[in-house]
Copies of this chain bind each other. A is one copy, B any other.
């Protein structure tokens, strides 16, 4: 990646999935919450249903996965990372899963997650 122009990964309108993975996520207070693990894309529509935040654990390993609605994330160029307008305490009570205990990712789960963040579930 090091020799690739940043323009390959991000334009005004678009962002590349492999640029987002590993990107830091902060809250409004500037606390580092974790990193984006990946996007979960709905196959039929090609829409990102969740950006998965990995949070907790040691040295970025083994934390829990917090699926976030796309609209919850804002990219801030100055910070070189995403910002979510959430307190750590809100995130700590949010829907999450360990790698070994993945949810069904069905519509019911989607409504639960989106509902927690107050976002309409569009799938």
The listed residue (B13, B18, B50, B75) touching A105 by CB distance below 8 A is B13
Are B15's CB and A75's CB within 8 A? no
Q: Tell me whether A5 and B40 are in contact in the complex, defined as CB-CB below 8 angstroms, given that A11-B105, A47-B46, A47-B48 are known contacts.
A: no
Are A40's CB and B18's CB within 8 A? no
| Binding site secondary structure of chain A | mixed
Interface segment, one of A27-35, A85-93, A96-104: A96-104
Are B11's CB and A104's CB within 8 A? yes
Provide the A5-47 mask, 1 if CB < 8 A to any CB of B, else 0. Answer: 1011001111111111100000000000000011111111111
Give the residues from 39 to 87 in chain A that come closer than 8 angstroms, CB to CB, to chain B.
39-50, 52, 70-71, 75
Residues of A that sit less than 8 Å from B by CB: 4-5, 7-8, 11-21, 37-50, 52, 70-71, 75, 99-100, 102, 104-106
